[in-house]
Amino acid sequence: MRSAEATVPTVWPDPRRPQADNLRILDGMEWSHRTPHLRAFSFGFSVRASEPSTGRYIEALFGAMAASDEAAHVYSFLEFDGRHEVYRDGEQVSSTEAASTALGHLLWDVNRNAITSARQDLLFHASAAEYEGRAVLMPAPMGSGKTTLVAGLVLGGLRYITDEAVAVDPTTLLVHPYPKPLALRRGSWEALPSLRPDLAPELRPFARSTWYVSPGMIRADAIASSPCAPGFVIAHRYEIGARTELTPMSRAEGLIALAENSFNITDFGTRRSMDLLAAIVRRCRCYRLTTGDLDAASRVVLDLVTSSEGFDG
Amino acid sequence: MTGSAQRDGIRAEAVPRIPEEIVWVEVDGETVVYDERRKQVHLLNPTASLVWSAIDGRASLDQIAGELSGAFGAEPAVVRSDVQELVRELTELGLLALSTRRR
């Protein structure tokens, strides 16, 4: 993947070295591409890449996170002699032969730091989409199809908030957009063929095990650009072969679904957390969704959310 | 209090109270109860929530049952039995503690 002899460093960063030394070495390298400043919640970062096509690809993936403020951190994405190394500042995040793994590690690290940077908000393991100024919160544990479901909703006309971590401001109770790239694993590909990345041959290894999709690539207005009020809580579960069923649940059950998928409920103290969760669900209609067909699940949620009775609260 | 209350070891004059480590919130008539010590969450249905809301650490089981039967025009003996059963369950779960009022 090396394109220019000029990028060959004479001194290579090494995870055994002090991070400050690694950063100095990385800063001294030539970089063929640097992204603009980006922001994931309050985590400011940029990415520099040794390969121009990789740099442009990463920039496109993170395009919805462009920020005007200064980035406090820099990721270095090195491709060299068949290896891929990723550093955050001077700390090694990934070292692998697999391009898709290196990119996955980069996204994982950004996500981890984004969540850490938003601890002042109530954080939920959930995907979310917006319709007419109201957020559909879909709390669920890993492996429940959060990304597939939200991708289907965005394809159906809703606007993307996130596929991973929902942040709710505890003062305003508004949901903040976190438009990270959608990470679609192989199991979702059949349901979402239109999201297959159209990549140049040298970039195809990045999509070998996971399709990374910039929400802005789905359609021009696919991203919720400002905070919005919560409108729905849909606790969903994927079960192989299960019939798709969307059933109302009480707001108290919705509260429990949010609590069970909270990253940081204890940070606020139990009393305040319970009051905040109650305040959120009082603004929402709550449902339980069981499905074995995420395509069908997207359709029933779209029908619910876009119907005129969907927001009578 | 009925005879069954005493058979199950909860006396009519027992006073249920909510321990400090129990935090709850009522939403649309249901109550979500969180046990900080055990890190467990419980959901009380609307009927159980009515009983829960009447527990103030001062009223006895008999008084709570009397208050609820009066408010809803229900058969006092039935209400007493239901309140006793619920309080017994919640006490076993650690969501309530019982004390005996001094006469």
Strand (E) or helix (H) holding A54: helix A52-61
Confidence band for B1, pLDDT divided at 50, 70 and 90: very low
* Structural domain harbouring B17: 3-100
* Closest by Cα among A152, A166, A183 to A62: A183
Residue in B23, B32, B36 closest to A255 by CB = B32
Report how far apart, in Å, the C-alpha atoms of A203 and of each of A55, A76, A84, A100 are.
10, 17, 13, 10
* Closest by Cα among A226, A228, A268, A263 to A123: A263
Would you call B32 and A275 a contact, using CB atoms and an 8 Å cutoff? no
Residue that the structure tokens 């690539």 belong to: A217
The answer to whether the CB of A198 falls within 8 A of the CB of A148 is no
Which tens digits make up the pLDDT trace of A67-117?
A: 988 889 999 999 988 999 999 999 999 999 999 999 999 999 999 999 999
A2 touches chain B (CB under 8 A): no
Q: Which residues contact A201 (CB under 8 A, 6 or more apart)?
A: none
B77 touches chain A (CB under 8 A): no
Domain A122-179+223-311 in this protein, CATH class: alpha beta
Confidence band for B49, pLDDT divided at 50, 70 and 90: very high
Q: Which two structure tokens, joined as six digits, stand for B46?
A: 């609307």
A270 to chain B: which residues are within 8 Å by CB?
23, 34, 36
B36 to chain A: which residues are within 8 Å by CB?
270
Question: Residue A299: pLDDT above 50?
Answer: yes
Residue in A251, A259, A275 closest to B41 by CB = A259
Q: Give the HSE-up count for residue A60: Cα atoms under 13 Å, Cβ half-sphere.
A: 14
Cα gap B10→B1, rounded to integer Å:
9
User: Nearest C-alpha of chain B: how many angstroms from A270?
Assistant: 7
User: Nearest C-alpha of chain B: how many angstroms from A161?
Assistant: 27
Sign of CA dihedral A259, A260, A261, A264: positive
Residue in A251, A256, A275 closest to B28 by CB = A251
A235 to chain B: which residues are within 8 Å by CB?
none
Chain A from 233 to 272: CB within 8 A of any B CB: 250-253, 255-256, 259-260, 270-271
Question: Residue B6: pLDDT above 80?
Answer: no
Q: How many CB pairs under 8 A join A and B?
A: 41
Cα gap B103→B101, rounded to integer Å:
6
Residue to test with chain A: of B21, B22, B32, most A Cβ within 10 A: B32
Residue to test with chain B: of A233, A255, A280, most B Cβ within 10 A: A255
Question: Residue B82: pLDDT above 50?
Answer: yes
The mean pLDDT of A217-225, rounded to a whole number, is: 91
* Closest by Cα among B16, B8, B23, B18 to B62: B16
The answer to whether the CB of A22 falls within 8 A of the CB of A87 is yes
Report how far apart, in Å, the C-alpha atoms of A265 and of each of A120, A125, A224, A274 are.
11, 11, 25, 9
Structure ipTM: 0.85
Residue in B23, B28, B43 closest to A274 by CB = B23
SS3 A125: strand
Would you call A250 and B32 a contact, using CB atoms and an 8 Å cutoff? no
* Closest by Cα among B14, B19, B72, B10 to B47: B72
What pLDDT is stored for residue A308 in this prediction?
56
The answer to whether the CB of A127 falls within 8 A of the CB of A273 is no
Share of chain B above pLDDT 90, in %: 71
Domain count, chain B: 1
A196 touches chain B (CB under 8 A): no
Residue in A253, A260, A278 closest to B25 by CB = A278
Helix then strand then coil, in percent of chain A rounded to 5, is 35, 30, 35
Which tens digits make up the pLDDT trace of A53-71?
A: 999 999 999 999 999 888 8
B52 touches chain A (CB under 8 A): no
A20 touches chain B (CB under 8 A): no
Q: Which residue of B has its CA nearest to A253?
A: B43
The mean pLDDT of A172-186, rounded to a whole number, is: 95
What pLDDT is stored for residue A37 in this prediction?
97
> Would you list the domain boundaries of chain A?
5-117, 122-179+223-311
Residue in B23, B30, B36 closest to A252 by CB = B30
Cα gap A78→A31, rounded to integer Å:
9
Report how far apart, in Å, the C-alpha atoms of A148 and of each of A182, A237, A271, A296 are.
9, 12, 34, 11
Q: Which residues contact B67 (CB under 8 A, 6 or more apart)?
A: B54, B59
Cα gap A292→A285, rounded to integer Å:
23
A233 to chain B: which residues are within 8 Å by CB?
none
